[in-house]
Amino acid sequence: MKRLFLLLAAMAIGILGFGYYTATRDPAVRRLTVHLRDWPAGAPPMRVVLISDLHVAGPDTPPSRLARIVAQVNALRPDLVLIAGDIEQDRRLSTQVYAGEAASAPLKALRARYGVLAVLGNHDYGWRNRTDLPGPLAENGITLLRNTAVRRGALTIAGADDLYHGKFHPLRLARAAAALPGPVVVLSHTPDVAPTLPRQFPLVLAGHTHCGQVVLPLIGAVTASSHYGLRYLCGLIREPGRDVLVTAGIGTSGVPLRYGAVPDLWVLTFDGAASDGIRKAAAIRD
């Protein structure tokens, strides 16, 4: 009986250790090429890096880990960096919580030709339904989009505010994007905004689901944290008139463990190379 207990204890420690290792490893790099039919004539391609769900907190994602990931992003030489929310963490099981300046300080080192844009997620508002991030983000050179839009290079980025705290206003977002020229991409923390968006938005970039975070053999994802079940769980989801890209993100929520859903970030190359005038996309994972 003692040997059985020791064996089970060793197995449990091994399983927990593997989940923690997976949660804290460097993110995998996913690549997507998107051909946009309304790409401005003569405009060069743009390389955009998408990251999400930083959840800066101990033990798995302290600022030191985020700083290492920032260096990884810079090595990809992006033209633009997009952050799809949940920079902070309000998990009660965290060994250390970092808020405001402490959570966002490593992001100051991000380097991109057209800068860094971000939206807020549900953890950034937390149970208090308020956020302390706008000031620190601005001080660190990051433009925060809250149902607003900006033009960067050949792209217009429309940033949706957090759906779960009632901050998302699709009509306000549509008006902001319509005032700017060029192809429009929506940046949102959650992919759940996609079905409510007007048809003028053909591509949504999001996080929030962590690609399930705990994805078990034969069972699959335990949860997707989405009102639409597994519809927007992970990766590139192609729907009539719109594509949705969901990243697994960097950090964790609930528990500092990942199984079957490694951290990742996406390198998106936008251009107008489609000769038939129809937007196409192809994903390459490495």
> Looking at the predicted structure, is the pLDDT value of residue 26 above 80?
yes
Instruction: Classify residue 194 by its DSSP letter.
Output: G
Residue corresponding to tokens 């633009």: 80
Average pLDDT over residues 117-126: 94
> Looking at the predicted structure, is the pLDDT value of residue 242 above 80?
yes
Residue corresponding to tokens 């003028």: 200
Q: Which CATH number covers residue 61?
A: 3.60.21.10
* pLDDT tens digits, one per residue of 80-89: 999 999 999 8
pLDDT at 91: 63
Tell me which H or E stretch contains 175. helix 170-178
Average pLDDT over residues 197-221: 92
* C-alpha closest to that of 282 among 234, 233, 246, 236: 236
Highest mean pLDDT among 99-113, 150-164, 218-232: 150-164
223: amino acid identity, one letter: T
pLDDT at 92: 65
> Looking at the predicted structure, is the pLDDT value of residue 158 above 90?
yes
Lowest mean pLDDT among 41-50, 51-60, 91-100, 181-190: 91-100
Query: Looking at per-residue confidence, does 126 or 94 come out higher?
Result: 126
Cβ contacts of 206 within 8 Å, gap of 6 or more? 52, 84, 187, 188, 189, 190, 191, 193, 194, 232, 244, 245, 246, 247
**Secondary structure class of 251 (helix, strand, coil):** coil
Number of domains making up the chain: 1
* pLDDT tens digits, one per residue of 31-66: 999 998 889 988 999 999 999 999 999 899 999 999
pLDDT at 254: 86
Task: State the average pLDDT for the chain.
Answer: 90
pLDDT at 101: 87
pLDDT at 241: 87
> Looking at the predicted structure, is the pLDDT value of residue 236 above 60?
yes
pTM as predicted: 0.92
Cβ contacts of 218 within 8 Å, gap of 6 or more? none
pLDDT at 95: 78
pLDDT at 274: 59
Average pLDDT over residues 249-273: 94
pLDDT at 93: 66
How many Å apart are CA 109 and CA 72, to the nearest integer?
11
- Under the banding of pLDDT at 50, 70 and 90, the label for residue 123 is very high
Highest mean pLDDT among 68-82, 130-144, 223-237: 68-82
Give the percent of the chain with pLDDT over 70: 93
Domain of 166, in residue numbers: 2-285
Residue 193 token pair: 């905004």
Average pLDDT over residues 171-188: 94
